[in-house]
Structure 1
Amino acid sequence: MIAYVSLFLFVISILMIFIQKFHFLSVLLVLEIMTLSLFGMSLCLLGMGMGMTGSSFALVYLVFGVYEAANGLGLLVSRTRSSGMDQLSGLFSLSF
């Protein structure tokens, strides 16, 4: 049951990344939902009762998830300080 919910969250998060057009923070939140759904699927498929392999994989995956969140927030703060906005529309524009 949890695997199906995680798969549904993963598909919805992929769709939401393509739908989001305005704020960078919304995309970061969708990426966190994607990370959480992949973590749920890996727990269901690998299982936490398999000894050290399942729990060590879960720990490493959560560490990379936290790293991704911290890196994304750092990029958001840097982008907001440099341009004064966090919208995705001006992210790829070449302005000198």
Structure 2
Amino acid sequence: MTSTRVQTAGLSQLACGQHDPHAALALLDRSLALGHRRIALIRYLHAQYLGAPLESHHHEYVHKVAERLSTETIGRIAMAARARLEG
């Protein structure tokens, strides 16, 4: 695994396993920087649930992504986000 993947795995463990809002926010920021769409939505929902300090650029990004998706796809993404939390 590359160091970036190791870092992401560590952040995922903190965010999902220990419910760390700052790790969730770091994962979301990473997704935004890399231009992710669906995983960014999942990470946004996760960060929001954990009470991470979301900023306007987070909301704007996921709004733009969601505009291009069907209602069914957004529902599946929301279910995936919930599954990660309940993991």
Q: TM-score range by the shorter chain?
A: under 0.3
Q: TM-score, normalised by structure 1?
A: 0.25
Q: TM-score, normalised by structure 2?
A: 0.27
Larger Rg: 1
Structure with the bigger RCO (C-alpha within 8 Å, sep 6+) is 1
